[in-house]
């Protein structure tokens, strides 16, 4: 189970990993916390389209359906309302009733119910920083941590179904500095302009400590599926933007994995890993 904040997050974080496991017969479910109702239209080719602006919730739901089909996964909505990304100094308050303002323990109940229904051995989500400090990403982390611990406990959320104990919890860490730097240097070595130059210059501004990347899943054969799924979220991605400026052959050669941080495990592991199910298969 991959727990994400908005439709499109599943296609930009761990999508090739999911497609790889689907190809091996693994049952994969994306849990999408919000509908992306307050998301902006980020594709310049679609900006100003009145229908999209007035029906962004429905449009993004259709985009999610297309991406789900491309990846071969199942998908469920948790039903929370997008918080939007507050901007300004000072930051404005979050809108009333949004996901970011929910009581964590109450909101986790919806995810506990889904875990007990789907029965995943492995769950992926964001770290405590949310991957980046969007209130919905941070709340996604919070409810996933609660749900991972509570789903197997019959005394917690008794109304949410029969207990089920997931075995491993990972944080998506695809946008790590080592990967970004390796791709940047390889692009420049080929005489091309890197889309990562400004990212690297600003990396220290984010004041994020380096993460403990424990798990590198080889999935280069599924990078094209990942990109196709991402492009299905047409309102959220510019097909001519930086996401797609790194040649596919270079990506496969320089960094053929998607990367994760093992946050919790109930099975014995030996790090580093190349499989989210390491230890689970043996158990």
Which domains are delineated in the chain? 2-265 (3.40.50.10320)
Report the pLDDT averaged over residues 227-243: 94
Provide the pLDDT confidence category of residue 207 given band limits of 50, 70 and 90.
low
Residue 60's Cα: distance from chain center in Å?
Answer: 16
pLDDT of residue 206: 65
Cβ–Cβ < 8 Å for 11, 20: no
Q: Give the neighbor-by-neighbor strand order of the sheet with 2-4.
A: 74-80, 29-34, 2-4, 122-125, 168-172, 257-265, 215-218
- Count CB-CB contacts under 10 A for residue 205: 7
pLDDT of residue 208: 67
Check pLDDT > 80 for residue 205.
no
Check pLDDT > 80 for residue 146.
yes
Report the pLDDT averaged over residues 170-179: 94
Check pLDDT > 80 for residue 183.
yes
pLDDT of residue 243: 83
Ligand-binding annotation for 27, yes or no, is no
**Percent of the chain surpassing pLDDT 90:** 87
Provide the pLDDT confidence category of residue 263 given band limits of 50, 70 and 90.
very high
Ligand-binding annotation for 4, yes or no, is no
Cβ–Cβ < 8 Å for 221, 20: yes
If you average pLDDT over every residue of the chain, what do you get? 95
Ligand-binding annotation for 55, yes or no, is no
pLDDT digits over 74-125, tens only? 999 999 999 999 988 888 999 999 999 999 999 999 999 999 999 999 999 9
């Amino acid at each position: 189970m991959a727990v994400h904040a908005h439709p499109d997050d599943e296609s930009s974080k761990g999508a090739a990993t999911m497609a790889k496991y689907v190809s091996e017969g693994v049952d994969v479910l994306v849990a999408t916390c919000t509908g992306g109702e307050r998301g902006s239209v980020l594709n310049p080719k679609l900006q100003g389209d009145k229908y999209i602006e007035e029906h962004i919730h429905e449009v993004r739901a259709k985009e999610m359906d297309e991406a789900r089909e491309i990846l071969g996964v199942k998908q469920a909505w948790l039903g929370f309302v997008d918080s939007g990304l507050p901007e300004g100094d000072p930051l404005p308050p979050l809108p009333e009733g949004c996901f970011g303002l929910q009581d964590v323990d109450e909101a986790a109940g919806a995810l506990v119910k889904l875990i007990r229904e789907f029965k995943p051995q492995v769950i992926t989500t964001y770290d405590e920083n949310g991957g980046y400090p969007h209130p919905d990403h941070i709340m996604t982390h919070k409810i996933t941590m609660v749900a991972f611990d509570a789903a197997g406990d019959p005394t917690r959320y008794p109304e949410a179904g029969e207990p089920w104990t997931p075995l491993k919890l990972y944080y998506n860490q695809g946008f790590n500095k080592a990967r970004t730097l390796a791709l940047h240097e390889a692009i420049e070595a080929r005489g091309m302009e890197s889309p990562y130059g400004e990212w690297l210059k600003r990396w220290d501004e984010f004041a994020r400590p380096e993460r403990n990347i424990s798990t590198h899943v080889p999935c280069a054969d599924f990078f094209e599926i990942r990109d196709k799924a991402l492009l299905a979220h047409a309102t959220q991605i510019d097909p001519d933007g930086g996401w797609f400026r790194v040649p596919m052959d270079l990506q496969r050669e320089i960094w053929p994995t998607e990367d994760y941080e093992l946050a919790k495990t109930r099975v014995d592991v030996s790090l580093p890993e190349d499989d989210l199910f390491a230890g689970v298969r043996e158990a």
